[in-house]
Amino acid sequence: MKSMKRYINCIAHKTSEGNLLVGENYTALFDCGMAHCADGTIQNVKNALQGRPLDYLFITHTHYDHIGALPFLRKEWPLLRLVTSQTGAAILLKDTPRRVIRDLSIVAANECNAPFDAAYSDDAFHVDVIVKGGDSIPLGGLSVETLETPGHTRDTLSFFIPELEILIASETSGALFPDNIVYPSYLTSFNDTVNSIEKCRKMSYKFLSLPHRGIADEKDANGFFDKALEAATTCRDFILSMNEKKLDQETMIDMFFQKYGSETLFSYQPRDAFAANARATIACTLREFASNE
């Protein structure tokens, strides 16, 4: 595909992130992945750019596996501009999110038997460009349009490249791993997630770029948002059924592990991170629906 020569997968490890868009005047990376993958990601980007600088880093959200490598990208490209939402910018200014990004980055490095570079600096986590839904940033012959797609987090964004008809979907829609299961990924709101999935479904895209993989093949792309909606709805109903049985929180977490935990998933996500996400998913589901029963 000729258009794909301008959208290049630079992911250095299957658990990481990093897809490069090459415009005539500017270049952009979408998420930069985990800290322990930074060297590989940087080298892949440099190979693709062939001497050109990396100008923008667009982030879908502020989780460690999507933004952890930022300190090292800023060292390589000091003029790099970080792009996210107002909510994301506010999150990255706070000490607690910065500490969580660092702590989970260390956990991920240990699980992958990778070193954690002491040159990592929390000061790198500041935003240079704030965007909102409908905003467009030109790169020269290509442009990046912003879609607000909250649900996974409050700050989650997706992006659309109209000239290439590429929709870069966020993790709000779910994660599709090699076992061909779409795992639900809503952590802050089921209702926001449904609205975000519907927003993405209505986009006039030809190619679909998915979290942790890049451009999906036609088989995986077809019907993805239908599967995403089904996965989120099934997850909500499962949580509400546990609540109807008046199970305590720890039992609900255990049952969530039994239903959604898999060797495939845990090869992408540490168990501690999975447990934290499970608690968030259960909490937001009960907050939105349990009081209405």
Q: Residues in the chain, how many?
A: 293
Q: Contact, 239 vs 285, CB < 8 A?
A: yes
CA distances from 186 to 40, 193, 209 (A): 29, 6, 19
Give pLDDT tens digits for 223-262.
999 999 999 999 999 999 999 999 999 999 999 999 999 8
Considering the domain delimited by 2-181+189-219, tell me its CATH architecture. 4-Layer Sandwich (3.60)
The whole-number average pLDDT for the span 59-77 is 96
**Ranges of each domain in the chain:** 2-181+189-219
- pTM attached to this predicted model: 0.94
Say whether pLDDT at 2 is over 80: no
19, β-bridge pairs: 9, 30
The 10 Å CB-count burial string (b at 16+, else e) for 180-219 is eebbbbbbbbbebbbbbbebbeebebebbbbbbbbbbeee
Burial class (CB in 10 A: 0-12, 13-18, 19+), 111: middle
The pLDDT tens digits for 188-215 are 999 999 999 999 999 999 999 999 888 9
Mean pLDDT over the full length of the chain: 93
- Is 89's pLDDT higher than 50? yes
pLDDT at 1 over 50: no
